[in-house]
Structures are given as C-alpha cells and as structure tokens.
Amino acid sequence: MSQQTYPKNAWYVAAMSEEVAGSQPLGRKICGESIAFYRSHDNKIAAVLDFCPHRGAALSLGYVEEGLLVCGYHGLKIGADGKTKEMPLQRVKGFPCMKSYAVDERYGFIWVWPGDQSQADKSLIPHLEWAVSPEWAYGGGLYHINCDYRLMIDNLMDLTHETYVHASSIGQKEIDESPVSTEVEGDKVITSRFMENIMAPPFWQAALRGNGLADNVPVDRWQICRFSPPSHVMIDVGVAHAGNGGFDAPANKKASSTVVDFITPETETSIWYFWGMARNFKPEDQALTDTIREGQGKIFAEDLEVLERQQQNLLAFPDYDLLKLDIDAGGVQSRRIIDRLITKEQTAKEQVAKASIAETPSQSSVPLQKVSF
C-alpha cells in the first residue's frame, strides 16, 4: 500500500461551476475518491460516491431527475445524503447509504472536502477578494496533468524555470540572475523576487499596452508566490514603469495581476490544475480578459510536458536523491507543511482506531449464540 501524499481533510477545488450544469452529473476523482457531482434541488450542488449500490455502476453516467441522481444502468435514484430513494418496481430503501461529501459552490468553483466529513468546516474555504470585487476581472481554465501535485507546487514556488520553459512569453535572463527570498508564516510560504530597471518580456509588454502604458521603456518587475495548504498558490506578478515604486506603484504606472493556481490531486501521480489570472485594471474589458487567458493558457501548456516527463523520470529512478538549491526553498518549505498536515491527520486516525478497539468488548465477554441451520 502506497503512502498517502496529500491531506484529505481540506477543501479542494473539484470543478468550475459551469462544468456541472443541467441534468448531467460530473464524475471526477479527487484525492483518490471517485465522486459524482450534480445539481440537486434548487440547483444546489451535491456530491456522492460515484458508485451505485445496486450493481456498482458509475452514477456519473446517469442523469438528474427532480433533484435525485438517477443511475443510468437500472434507474436507481439516490439523494444528496447518499441514501437510495427509489427504483422502478423495486423495494430498495433498505440499501446501504453511499458516502456523501461536503461541498460548496463559491467564487465560480465547486469545492469538496474528501476526508473526514465531520471535520468539514465551510469557513475554512479561503476568501478570494478578486472573485467578488467589481474592480477585478478573472479568466482561467483547467488542465489535467499526469504528475504528483507537489511537482506543480515546486514549479510555482520557484519561477526560475520561466527563463527556460517560457522564453518566448514571460521568461527573461534577469529572472535567474535575481536573488529570491523565502519566508514561512505559520502554514503559509512566501517566495519573492524583484527585478529593477529591466525591459518587459512579450507577455508583459502586451499587458502594459492593455493598460494604456508604454511598453518600450524600462520597468520594475516582481513575482511574489504565496503557498497555502493544502495546495493553493497565488502569485502576485506585474511590471511598473521603472522608478515608480514597483509593486507599490500607482495603478496608472503599472500592469499587475494575481496568478491563480488551485492544484487538486486526482491520484498520487495526476492532478486537476485550475489556473487563471485575476487583474485589477480595466476589469470591464472582456476582450482583454480573453486575450490574457489565451496567452496564459499557452504558457501553462508549456509546463505540462515538462512536469509529465519529470514524473516519468522520478518513477523510473525512485532511488535518486534530488539536489536541493536555495531557489528550491519555497517548494521545500511547502512540502514540510504538507507533511506536517498529513502526519497530524494520520495520527488522529490512529487515535480513533485505538479508541474504537478499546471500546470493543473482548471475545470472552460476548455471550455465545445458538446458530440454527
């Protein structure tokens, strides 16, 4: 049995809201859990184990009728609570209850808690100001990538690779020539890199033009990567006309955004990667939003092959001890937080198991029962 590599007692982004629409459920594996997401009564999102208690069919292959999820194999109907409600000409209400999951629809995403349902607290879902403020615009997408989710965290917490992987868009030699600093604040990790008096790369030249600014003058550039568990990375990025304060420059002197990264494990070697960019300049310009999303989508697609080939190499050479440099500090510190959360989760499970054993009557105290055949 492989060792657990991700916390399960946490809120993960499972889908974008538009992925679950009408009467069609969505089947998606999250942290090893096969889940059917669908819209129940009043269009409220619901999630149950993607397993029909009748013959084991995938419930996500069915459809929704009057708020109930109908199995597409024999018509069994199941509710948001995981209980079987009815089936044509059959008495099925005594069927075992299937696992249901705590879910919430917020900020245009569907969030799920794949672990201990008794611990699911919706107040723990992070607040996303850019998703609720009219001063911000957002555009993003979804990639399925065959890699360990921690490799993506490493990738995002060290942007040195931009010089090489994204040379034609956001990369430039000044990135890996500039020092990076790493700070840990509780369960959060922050890595920062600042570059002064440089020329903007193509992506940021376009962003400057999009904000009505000159793109052929020196700029100050910044990258501030913020990891928070279980696997969310928000990156403050941007450029400002040089000498105006960089990150703190006034809005009419810079083009800045927040790169949004929700990394959701599917299995130990595959992920659902929800990516996007939120910006607080010209939020009403939908054409600009579409252009930025298209450009960013191409940039993240360049990471896909790198990460999948990296995963293949790591599986092929499991005993190789990888080198760790100062630029890796953000990813290393993020992994330490993840490991601490997993250990805490597993310790709690062990304590519950021990308590359960202690409360179970010994074999000698259980009276013998006569069995008739």
**Which pLDDT belongs to residue 362?**
53
Mean pLDDT of the chain: 92
Q: What is each CA distance from 336 to 2, 326, 354, in whole angstroms?
A: 19, 15, 27
CATH class name, domain 12-123 = mainly beta
Under the banding of pLDDT at 50, 70 and 90, the label for residue 372 is: very low
pTM: 0.91
CATH class name, domain 129-338 = alpha beta
- Give residue-wise pLDDT tens across range 50-62: 999 988 999 999 9
- Asked whether the domain spanning 129-338 has the same topology as the one spanning 12-123, the reply is no
Under the banding of pLDDT at 50, 70 and 90, the label for residue 8 is: very high
- Give residue-wise pLDDT tens across range 198-234: 999 999 999 999 999 999 999 999 999 999 999 999 9
Q: Is pLDDT of 79 > 50? A: yes
Contacts of 233 (CB under 8 A, 6+ apart): 153, 156, 157, 225, 226, 227, 259, 261, 263
Under the banding of pLDDT at 50, 70 and 90, the label for residue 89 is: confident
Nearest to 7 by CA among 302, 236, 343, 243: 343
Beta bridge partners of residue 68, listed in sequence order: 65
Give the phi and the psi of residue 334 in degrees, each rounded to 5. Answer: -65, -40
Q: Domain spans of the chain? A: 12-123, 129-338
Give the phi and the psi of residue 36 in degrees, each rounded to 5. Answer: -105, 120
